[in-house]
Amino acid sequence: MEIKHRLQPGFTLVEMIVVMLILSALAVTAYARISQVDSQARQASLSAFKANVQATAIMAKGVCMSDPQCDSQQVAPSTTIEGNVIYFSQSYPVGWLGNSDGAGTLNQLLDTGKFSIQPSLSDREHATYYLQGARNSAHCKLEYILTSGANSTQPLTIQTDSSGC
């Protein structure tokens, strides 16, 4: 009778180590990519919010220019947009009037979502919005600035700082 030797199916130790090394390299690469996704998402959110603020300010300027109550010669140029009294400076909506209820602010025109405004750091010509949940919210912000004066060719400036997102 002839004895047949059957080879045991399975992997050798060397093959297992090679597979473990390959999987480890893939895991390290994937982790490096995934760890940056949340920061990139916050930066994208900040950019989208900036575009929203710019579009809203320009549309509100168009409404202001068509309303006689919004004439720059008025003491407090204003117009009503969707039931909200919005105040203007140089035909752009102002950042913050300091009212306790927030009446007359740029906030009434915006869906701020995950952004918060700090009234104590803002005024009529300036509003600062901070992204909630950022690594460093002091450096993940949008600033809405109206510049007054005859030398001002571009009265509205919207700046972002994404270094802390």
Give the pLDDT score at 78. 85
Determine the pLDDT at residue 121: 67
The predicted structure's pLDDT at residue 150: 57
- pLDDT at residue 101 in the model: 57
Q: What is the CA radius of gyration of the chain?
A: 28
Per-residue pLDDT for the chain (165 aa), expressed as one digit of tens each? 666 666 667 778 888 999 999 999 998 888 877 877 888 889 999 999 999 999 999 999 999 888 888 877 777 788 888 888 888 888 889 887 666 555 667 888 888 888 888 766 677 788 899 998 888 888 999 999 988 765 667 889 999 999 988
